[in-house]
């Protein structure tokens, strides 16, 4: 299975990617929604996108909206540590826009793998 991780925090992106590679997933990485959408255009067989919600360039909410319109078969996991209003508000919005599941940072590797399996 091919998974795209869209996360602006390099340490979090590396953590998620390393975890997924250990589980034998093929992983692509992007540091914002703009770059993530470029990767989706180039790699037609990505089946899961894990995206942060608060990022520069193109936020996760906008990215989720575009992915659900352009690639309706892709499953989306939205992740957020919040911001000024807390992660719950962002994650509720992500869910309403088409995210298939949401995780609040920090989450464990087991929680992430379980979320992928449940998709």
Q: What is the 3-state secondary structure of 74-98?
A: CEEEEEECCCCCCHHHHHHHHHHHC
**117 C-beta neighbours (distance < 10 Å), count:** 8
Please identify which residue in the block is written with the tokens 């975890």: 19
48-52 β-sheet, strand order: 26-30, 2-6, 48-52, 75-80, 101-104
pTM of the model: 0.92
Distance CA(9)–CA(2), nearest Å, equals: 21
In this structure, whether the domain defined by 2-118 belongs to CATH 3.40.50.2300 is answered with yes
Residues 6-57: pLDDT tens digits?
Answer: 999 999 999 999 999 999 999 999 999 999 999 999 998 999 999 999 888 8
């Amino acid at each position: 299975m091919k998974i795209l991780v869209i996360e602006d925090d390099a340490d979090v992106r590396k953590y998620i990617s390393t975890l997924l590679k250990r589980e034998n997933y093929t992983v692509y990485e992007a540091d914002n929604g703009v770059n993530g959408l470029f990767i989706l255009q180039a790699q037609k067989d990505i089946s899961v996108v894990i995206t942060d919600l608060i990022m520069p360039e193109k936020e996760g909410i906008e990215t989720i909206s575009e992915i659900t319109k352009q690639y309706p078969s892709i499953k989306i996991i939205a992740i957020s540590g919040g911001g000024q209003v807390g992660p719950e508000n962002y994650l509720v919005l992500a869910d309403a826009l088409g995210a298939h599941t949401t995780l609040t940072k920090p989450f464990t590797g087991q929680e992430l793998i379980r979320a992928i399996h449940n998709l």
